[in-house]
Chain A
């Protein structure tokens, strides 16, 4: 499966056939900090990502203040 990451935008290839929560754990991403998007739908943590799927981890954090 292919994972698209942002800020900066990049793509990585990792093993598929696993639940979203397992993918996030492997990549050390806190679920609260991203939307997981496949095609035009968001995915919940229990859904399985297929071997040939492309998912985007879209960061939700914004702003900045000193």
Chain B
């Protein structure tokens, strides 16, 4: 197989683009997709400070790598979930990545803020583990950004993540979730920073390939609690469809963003309040994070 750009030996075939690339041209393809995402959704500019949420996995480190190479003003945010060896190893990957590039890494511990690490939250709440974890991460990302003066948080969500989320929302017709699914969420309250996903145009395989080519040392092992998660089952289904029909995931997500999302957005005005306890933004009186924290405290 030949590289579409230079005619040299290809290392990666992208069936949905009907193309294959050598290492050098693949890296350029990848960066162009990120540039296009940032430009199209006006995610941030070169003057702004961007907080990149990093997990030690391929996606978030690939994102940080691109943004650093492009000259954006970034710092990393690592949320220590306290998931045994997995968290120890993933934190070490983030610290090594940041140190090698002389980049700032902010570390926040879930146990210090919620009152217990993710494995305990899972047990005391009897929620699926990814539920309490996701809630805590979204809350802490926003809070850390506010505290450190970042107007925007960038996450490593890729095309597969977004397609799987959309699939899950559509399967249950969660019409309240559909308008919130976007590559760029604006700040709708003074205490909510913008959230952006510059990798939404790139598949999981493409981010893995980029991390490999760029020799980024990331944690390959899955989170031990992710096994059997619904989103992973949805990803597997979507990959079977992709195999039969290259471009299926892209068409599903991009069709939604271009054609369907505006319709759901029109009917979705919500009132935002400040939590009576912590002052962060919520649609109710006390935010979900404080309720989770209470539940953890009561159980301990």
A residues near B, CB below 8 A? 6-7, 30-35, 37, 41-47, 58-66
Flag if A64 contacts B229 (CB, 8 Å): yes
Q: How far is the CB of B22 from chain A (nearest CB, A)?
A: 10
Flag if A61 contacts B212 (CB, 8 Å): no
Q: What total count of A-B pairs have CB within 8 Å?
A: 98
In-complex Cβ contact of A46 among B1, B229, B239 (8 A): B1
CA distance A37 to B127 in the complex (A): 38
Flag if A31 contacts B11 (CB, 8 Å): no
Size range of the interface on B? Answer: 35 or more
A-B contacts besides A61-B232, A65-B230, 11 pairs, CB < 8 Å: A7-B220, A44-B1, A44-B11, A45-B13, A47-B1, A60-B207, A62-B204, A63-B161, A64-B229, A65-B130, A66-B127
| Chain B 223-248 residues near chain A, CB threshold 8 A | 223, 225-227, 229-232, 235-236, 239-240, 242-243
B residues near A, CB below 8 A? 1, 10-13, 20, 57-59, 127-131, 134, 160-161, 164-165, 168, 203-205, 207-209, 212-213, 220-223, 225-227, 229-232, 235-236, 239-240, 242-243
Residues in A neighbouring B212, C-beta threshold 8 A? 35, 37, 42, 58
CA distance A17 to B235 in the complex (A): 32
Residues in A neighbouring B223, C-beta threshold 8 A? 63-64
CA distance A45 to B130 in the complex (A): 34
Residues in B neighbouring A58, C-beta threshold 8 A? 208, 212, 220
In-complex Cβ contact of B221 among A7, A32, A46, A65 (8 A): A7
Q: How far is the CB of A35 from chain B (nearest CB, A)?
A: 5
Residues in A neighbouring B165, C-beta threshold 8 A? 65
Residues in B neighbouring A64, C-beta threshold 8 A? 129-130, 222-223, 225-227, 229, 231-232
User: Are A63 and B226 CB-contacts (below 8 A) given A32-B242, A33-B205, A35-B205?
Assistant: yes
Residues in B neighbouring A62, C-beta threshold 8 A? 57-59, 204, 222, 226
Q: How far is the CB of A32 from chain B (nearest CB, A)?
A: 5
Q: How far is the CB of B284 from chain A (nearest CB, A)?
A: 21
Flag if B232 contacts A41 (CB, 8 Å): no
CA distance A59 to B220 in the complex (A): 8
Residues in B neighbouring A47, C-beta threshold 8 A? 1
